[in-house]
Structure 1
Amino acid sequence: MLKDFKPVLGILLRFIIIYLVLLFAYQFYLNSFKAQGLDHYSRMIAEQVRFIQSKLGIATQLYDDVAKEQVWFYVKQKYVTRMVEGCNAVSVMILFLSFVFAFYKGSKTFIFALAGLLILYLMNVARIMGLNIVTRDYPQYNKMSHDYLFPAVIYGTVVVLWLVWIKFFALKHENS
């Protein structure tokens, strides 16, 4: 009977191992930035959001709060949101990668993983920009946008990518 579940258990075990390895590696990365403020990756995202918003005519500046490991977005002469480590979507990307590599299919796994990471990165930048705009111009929708709408966008993107991976790559027969 256990023999029937062996493929599923193998995939589950690969997922857990990959997830834990990536999670511990990310935590190690974060620990190297203690007392220096926001980590470099999160700062890079904040800078890109600032750059794009400014190019779109939405005057944006960043202000460091090193003690609290965050960066504030100053949009249209008002502090609207803050960027903390959790806003960088790395945890979502780790979850995505763990699932894709649990269904490893050779070199196409790496290509799909890189394409998926790029899509998630772009969606996250758009998500932060959207949150800045909603918070600045429609503050009454801030809580709903931050807690429900924008998480649904980023997690929905992950689910769609997973479905594409499974349907068109992972479970597709090589001879079809």
Structure 2
Amino acid sequence: MKTTFSGWRYLWKSEDIRRKLIITFIILAVYRLAANVPAPGVNFEALAAFRASSSGSGGGFLDFLDLLSGGTVSNFSLLSMGVYPYITAQIIIQLLVPIIPALQRRMQEDPREGRRWQEKWTYYLAVPMAALSAIGQINIFNYQSINTPNIGEAILPFGFSGDLLLPSVTALVAMTAGTM
């Protein structure tokens, strides 16, 4: 028991570790605050009805997604996609390296430069992956809410024509930026 307290005491005595811990706690606090900011254009009445119908049916789809996302999905938050698009892009790039001989040579010739190249292209691929994930999430929620009894309307009206163009692009850009 005594060693546990001395370990915690050391964490706060060391200025470098204390600074890193404080920065980490600040980042976590900012993330939790941003997790409650909904995407622009959300129909809050439809979202509340969808939440009520989903939790009233013994859990299910929305509760499972909330479990994985830390509660950001039920708020239709800007951060509801998390880091999934970035991780997917990273996996795709890592799978391409052994398949394409030029990439494999680049990684073997100069591993440090190859790693930089891989990180750069992971970022480039993560942006369209985030946009596609945002489109998918919006469409899944709209389909679920439209087909749920007593709701019948979209949580976030989405489309690329007419009056829906600007709200759709705004929501898409906001959710993509929330991922990055």
TM-score (norm 1): 0.32
TM-score (norm 2): 0.32
Higher share of residues assigned strand: 1
